[in-house]
Amino acid sequence: MKRKIYIKHFLSSMIGIFSIGALVSILLYFFLISFEKESIYKNNMQYAKYEFNENKNTIKQTIDTYKQELIALEDIIKRKNLLENTYLLKEYMHLLIKSNNSIFQIRYLDKNADEIVRIDRLLNGKIVDKKLLQNKKNRYYFIKTSNLPKEEFYISNLDLNVEHKKIEKPFRPTFRVSTPLYIKDKFEGILIFNFNAQILIDKITKSRIFDVYYMDEKGNFLLHPDEKKSWSTQLKTNYKVKDEIKNIDQLLKNPLSDKNDKYYIDKIHITDHDFYIILSTKDIYYENSINEIKKEILFLFMIVILLGLPFAIFIGFIQSRHVILLEYIINSIPHPLYIKDSKGKFILVNDELVKFYNLKDKKQLLGKNSYALNNQKSFDCKEKDELVLKKGRLKTVEEIELENKDILYYEIIRVKVPYYYFKKNTFLLGIAIDITQIKELNDKLNERVEQEVSARIKTEQLLAQQSKMALMGEMIGNIAHQWRQPLSNITTVSTGMNLQKEMNILEDNQLHEGLIQINESAQFLSQTIDDFRNFFKPYKVKTNFTIDYVVKKALKLVSAQFQDRNIEIIKQIENVKLNNLENEFTQVILNLLNNSRDELATQSIDKKLIYIVSRIENKKLIFEVKDNAGGIEDNIKDKIFDAYFTTKQSDSGTGIGLYMSKEIIEKHMGGKLSCENVTINYEDKIYKGACFKIEFDL
């Protein structure tokens, strides 16, 4: 077994080293090729500049030769008045064309563009006088030359000679050099040479290092190493330069900076239209360098293989040891564990998984499709594996029923494992943890928690009820205070009217006024009952209300007791609309007001003050109730919101008012209730007191 593992990993290591060596060699090959091409391109740049200058100078010198011959012919015509003697003019032109084999046509066109003298060199070399003369007033060379000042020259584009509107064959590449003829400042016509540029072309395209291309103004090949592509515009073969040199536009902007390290380009501004010379380093220079690089790369690859052999032996040994160690580790895991490929086939399993399936050997699982197992305890689910492949991870708790009807619970963790080795592979790692005992304990704990939560809810309900009852007692006292005066009014009026009746002095208007007073007092008593009843209605739905409204509502219920105790209420209300529990908020305000009232009742001070303040700060509603009753002692500050904590006598305080206020604000209304000691400046006198602050996010 160990031997098989070793051989397997030795071979895989050799393949890996071979592949890495091949990849490095290929990358190095392309890098060196690119580097070599760039080096050749940069090294040849000076040669290219030299070639460009040589081409320009050769073309310019050749054309200058014909300019000088035109100047000489013009001088002879002027000195010997040859326009009056066309026979003698022909003789001079014959001598001139015979002396220069490149000239194949000399003409004199008068000012009306009529050919007066025309000497041609035929393709067989014979020199003849052209008898059939034509008018050339519409030809471009006459138009452009006739518009030149004297002693100026027109140089035509390089093209093929055309006779009778057809390109002459075999081709004669042609330059036309012409000058206007002025006699005593009077235009008398033009002199024009057509010379065969083939010798010039052979000279400028002959280069040991470069292939030479010429491009015309239309972007077609004027000259090409492949003669079939030359003269593309005239022959209408439409061989576009950009079809062969894809980055020609970039080269035109940066003539000596080709991203492909191949071409150089320069503009020639000598003829009628500009044209371009393009140089390309000959392939033979690249081929020699590339062959050398190939030899070096092959040598390097052989060295990598030779050095990699002992390394592969070592890696194979280490890898096989790692596999054996991995086998030991996964078999030490006390939970069923497996690794599958993306199609559900088992790749690796541990002994616990074999036991889980009640099998005898790992061979019964390895290489098998997990979805095809006919086993009632199987927790392999294709749908869940597909979900893992999408999400990357899945944790489930699954119930498995045994033959004896016992139920086992397993927490199964499935993880997607991407693995890169030559190509990307995806595996699924799964581990099943028996949580039957934990689940049973958890169920008992949840039951216990539910019981505790239920008990806590009942306790809080009891505290809320006690708080409500305590507040109800306060309200009954307030009702008694508010009813005292209207009841006294009813008694007084009814007794007075009864006495007047007995004495027969009761008049109708007095009876009417008395009844009105009794009715108003009864209406006040009824309104007080309605206010009391509305306050205690169990509204638990959030409604819209304003701060000013709930403050007035609270004060209406308790104002009588504050008046009796000479407590002054100072309101500083910034009216804000809230959406919350109105009655609960009113209850909290009443608790805070009653708390301040009770503390002020213990103080011997001239002015007893309670401030009710609301404002907006930092997108929050701040609501404060503060008094000048001396503040809260430091040693009890942290306890005042505890249930059943009170500083009052046992018969006058329950200790649940502030506790329930905090519960209402923070748990039911989503706010915050806190307290602090503050100083109050009233009528130039400083008081110390407590401030209870409520905060709501707006």
Q: Which pLDDT tens digit goes with each residue over 558-579?
A: 777 788 788 999 999 998 999 9
Pick 374 or 366 by higher pLDDT: 366
Tell me the percentage of the chain whose pLDDT exceeds 90.
Answer: 25
As a whole number of angstroms, the distance between CA 658 and CA 266 comes to: 95
Last residue of a domain, one of 434, 452, 484: 434
Residue 407 in any domain: the answer is yes
Give which of 397, 345, 353 is closest to 372, Cα–Cα. 345
Examine the domain organization and report whether 274 and 186 are in the same domain: yes
* Three-state secondary structure call for residue 286: helix
> What is the mean predicted confidence (pLDDT) over 277-285?
85
- Per the DSSP assignment, residues forming a β-bridge with 240 are 220
Residue 325 in any domain: the answer is no
As a whole number of angstroms, the distance between CA 60 and CA 268 comes to: 10
What is the number of structural domains in the chain?
5
Residue 13: the pLDDT is 65
> What is the mean predicted confidence (pLDDT) over 65-73?
92
Residue with tokens 């008018």: 135
> What confidence category does residue 6 fall into, taking pLDDT thresholds of 50, 70 and 90?
low
- CATH number, position 374: 3.30.450.20
Last residue of a domain, one of 492, 521, 536: 536
pLDDT at 109 over 80: yes
What is the residue-wise DSSP string for 583-650?
Answer: HHHHHHHHHHHHHHHHHHHT---S-EEEEEEEEEETTEEEEEEEE-S----GGGGGGTTSTT--SS-T
Residue 364 in any domain: the answer is yes
Examine the domain organization and report whether 212 and 296 are in the same domain: no
As a whole number of angstroms, the distance between CA 526 and CA 594 comes to: 24
- Lowest-pLDDT choice from 239-248, 350-359, 545-554, 586-595: 350-359
Examine the domain organization and report whether 549 and 425 are in the same domain: no
Examine the domain organization and report whether 352 and 479 are in the same domain: no
pLDDT at 70 over 90: yes
Quote helix, strand, coil % in the chain, to nearest 5. Answer: 50, 25, 25
For the stretch 223-277, pLDDT in tens is: 999 989 999 988 888 889 999 888 888 888 888 877 777 889 999 888 888 899 9
> What confidence category does residue 365 fall into, taking pLDDT thresholds of 50, 70 and 90?
confident
Pick 422 or 553 by higher pLDDT: 553
Residue 327 in any domain: the answer is no
Residue with tokens 């009794």: 518
Examine the domain organization and report whether 465 and 425 are in the same domain: no
Residue 328 in any domain: the answer is no
> What confidence category does residue 546 fall into, taking pLDDT thresholds of 50, 70 and 90?
very high
Residue type, 63: I
pLDDT at 662 over 70: yes
Residue 120: the pLDDT is 92
Per the CB < 8 A criterion, the answer to whether 673 and 661 are in contact is yes
Residue 678: the pLDDT is 93
Examine the domain organization and report whether 474 and 493 are in the same domain: yes
Within 10 A of 597 (CB to CB), how many other CB atoms are there?
Answer: 19
- CATH number, position 639: 3.30.565.10
Residue 96: the pLDDT is 92
> What confidence category does residue 28 fall into, taking pLDDT thresholds of 50, 70 and 90?
confident
Residue 486: the pLDDT is 65
User: What tokens appear for 84 in the block?
Assistant: 């009056």
Residue 421: the pLDDT is 61
User: Where is 185: in which H helix or E strand?
Assistant: none
Residue 3: the pLDDT is 63
As a whole number of angstroms, the distance between CA 536 and CA 539 comes to: 8
Provide φ and ψ at 498, rounded to 5°: -65, -45
As a whole number of angstroms, the distance between CA 429 and CA 347 comes to: 10
- Lowest-pLDDT choice from 11-15, 192-196, 280-284: 11-15
For the stretch 531-542, pLDDT in tens is: 555 555 554 678
Residue 674: the pLDDT is 93
Residue 584: the pLDDT is 85
- DSSP class of residue 345 equals B
Residue 326 in any domain: the answer is no
Examine the domain organization and report whether 36 and 51 are in the same domain: no
Residue 483: the pLDDT is 60
> What is the mean predicted confidence (pLDDT) over 624-640?
89
Residue type, 169: K
Residue 429 in any domain: the answer is yes
> What is the mean predicted confidence (pLDDT) over 277-298?
80
Residue 532: the pLDDT is 56
For the stretch 580-625, pLDDT in tens is: 988 888 888 988 998 898 888 888 888 999 999 999 999 999 999 9
Examine the domain organization and report whether 467 and 510 are in the same domain: yes
User: What tokens appear for 107 in the block?
Assistant: 């003409």
Examine the domain organization and report whether 156 and 266 are in the same domain: yes
Examine the domain organization and report whether 99 and 209 are in the same domain: yes
For the stretch 454-506, pLDDT in tens is: 777 676 666 555 556 555 655 565 555 556 556 666 777 678 777 777 788 77
* Mean of the per-residue pLDDT values of the chain: 82
Provide the whole-model pTM: 0.45
Tell me the percentage of the chain whose pLDDT exceeds 70.
Answer: 85
Per the CB < 8 A criterion, the answer to whether 345 and 368 are in contact is yes
Pick 157 or 370 by higher pLDDT: 157
Examine the domain organization and report whether 293 and 351 are in the same domain: no
> What is the mean predicted confidence (pLDDT) over 149-159?
91
User: CB-based burial of residue 79 (10 Å sphere; 0-12 exposed, 13-18 middle, 19+ buried)?
Assistant: exposed
> What is the mean predicted confidence (pLDDT) over 134-141?
90
> What is the mean predicted confidence (pLDDT) over 316-344?
79
Pick 153 or 408 by higher pLDDT: 153
Examine the domain organization and report whether 451 and 517 are in the same domain: yes
As a whole number of angstroms, the distance between CA 231 and CA 222 comes to: 5
> What is the mean predicted confidence (pLDDT) over 545-559?
86
Residue 110 in any domain: the answer is yes
Residue 17: the pLDDT is 67
As a whole number of angstroms, the distance between CA 204 and CA 198 comes to: 10
Range of the domain at 633: 538-698
